[in-house]
């Protein structure tokens, strides 16, 4: 008998049986070989929402993690084409002590950047209807910083030495500097009143050099050594604060 969206009622049991095969295996009947049985995830349908797909929902109950591939990202040459909006993990709480031990600020940064990308998705729909100029200044900032995160943090080129592997400390400091700029800029846009009106364009003009340095963070090569690279990230963090302080003065 058909169940959710026309799928048979035994869909969940069949998927669970299929996923039980995933993992490392060893061939003992013939040549001694080792390998793995790979489970292929679903791909986002055009204009579709994987969150409501019965196959995806049943998969989440079994594997607890889902990496949703987005065809539109691949068409824009954005690799890896893993969608941050439809991908899912239930291991956040289990891994939280590990991330806190690495740096107490890491979980908060990750939560903030997720919210930022979600807000960008909602604002993009508004921009398509009424245009970017109709947005409030904080919303313009959200779009620009989210673009930095997408193009200069999430998008990677595996054929380059600086992007092939990104250690955790590099990912952390890239996010920390991007969101540090976002928080300070947002503070200036929301806390100004009276005759003194601050726009995102005025901030972008004043902070143009620091914005370019934020964009170029991905080109820092981890092969140069953790200590030397972190020193560059910390210097940029301080430069952002100093430049915003000059903007206020």
Cβ distance 39 to 54 under 8 Å? no
Higher pLDDT, 28 or 225: 225
**Portion of the chain with pLDDT greater than 90, in percent:** 50
Q: How far is CA 39 from CA 11, 22, 36, 141, 213, in A?
A: 16, 6, 9, 39, 40
pLDDT exceeds cutoff 80 at 100: yes
Q: Indicate if 23 and 53 belong to the same structural domain.
A: yes
For the entire predicted model, the pTM comes to 0.79
Measured from the Cβ of residue 113, the count of other Cβ atoms closer than 10 Å reads 20
Cβ distance 238 to 226 under 8 Å? no
**Portion of the chain with pLDDT greater than 70, in percent:** 83
Give the span between the Cα atoms of 210 and 178, in whole angstroms. 10
Q: Which of 73, 89, 105 is the last residue of a domain?
A: 89
Looking at residue 16, its pLDDT comes to: 82
Looking at residue 41, its pLDDT comes to: 44
Instruction: Over range 56-64, report the average pLDDT.
Output: 76
Tally of domains within the chain: 2
Average pLDDT, rounded, for the chain: 84
Cβ distance 88 to 66 under 8 Å? yes
Tens of pLDDT, residues 184-195: 999 999 876 555
Q: Indicate if 122 and 217 belong to the same structural domain.
A: yes
Query: Among 51-65, 103-117, 134-148, which stretch is predicted with the lowest mean pLDDT?
Result: 51-65
Q: Indicate if 129 and 228 belong to the same structural domain.
A: yes
Give the span between the Cα atoms of 230 and 123, in whole angstroms. 33
Tens of pLDDT, residues 144-154: 999 999 999 99
Q: Indicate if 110 and 60 belong to the same structural domain.
A: no
- Who's near 125: CB < 8 A, 6+ residues apart? none
Q: Indicate if 210 and 143 belong to the same structural domain.
A: yes
Give the span between the Cα atoms of 181 and 116, in whole angstroms. 13
Beta partners for 89?
65
What is the residue-wise DSSP string for 65-93? EE--B-HHHHHTT-SS-B-TTT-EES-HH
* Residue range of the domain that includes 142: 93-248
For residue 118 the two structure tokens come to: 């979600």
């Amino acid at each position: 008998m058909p169940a959710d969206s026309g799928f048979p009622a035994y869909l969940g049991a069949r998927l669970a049986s299929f996923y039980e095969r995933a993992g490392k295996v060893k061939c003992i009947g013939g040549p001694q070989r080792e390998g793995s049985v790979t489970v292929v995830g679903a791909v986002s349908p055009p204009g579709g929402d994987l969150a409501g797909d019965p196959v995806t929902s049943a998969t989440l109950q079994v594997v607890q993690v889902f990496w949703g591939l987005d065809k539109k990202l691949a068409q824009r040459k954005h690799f890896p084409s893993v969608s941050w909006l439809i991908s899912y993990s239930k291991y956040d709480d289990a891994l939280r002590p590990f991330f806190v031990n690495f740096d107490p600020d890491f979980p908060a940064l990750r939560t903030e950047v997720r919210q930022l990308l979600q807000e960008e998705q909602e604002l993009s729909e508004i921009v398509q209807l009424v245009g970017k100029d109709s947005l409030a200044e904080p919303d313009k900032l959200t779009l620009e910083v989210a673009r930095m995160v997408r193009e200069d943090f999430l998008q990677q080129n595996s054929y380059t030495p600086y992007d092939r592997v990104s250690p955790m400390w590099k990912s952390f400091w890239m996010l920390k500097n991007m969101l540090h700029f976002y928080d300070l800029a947002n503070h200036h846009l929301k806390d100004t009143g009276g005759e003194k009106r601050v726009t995102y364009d005025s901030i972008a003009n004043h902070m143009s050099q620091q914005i370019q340095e934020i964009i170029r963070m991905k080109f820092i090569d981890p092969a140069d050594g953790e200590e030397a690279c972190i020193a560059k990230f910390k210097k940029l963090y301080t430069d952002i604060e100093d430049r915003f302080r000059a903007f206020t003065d």
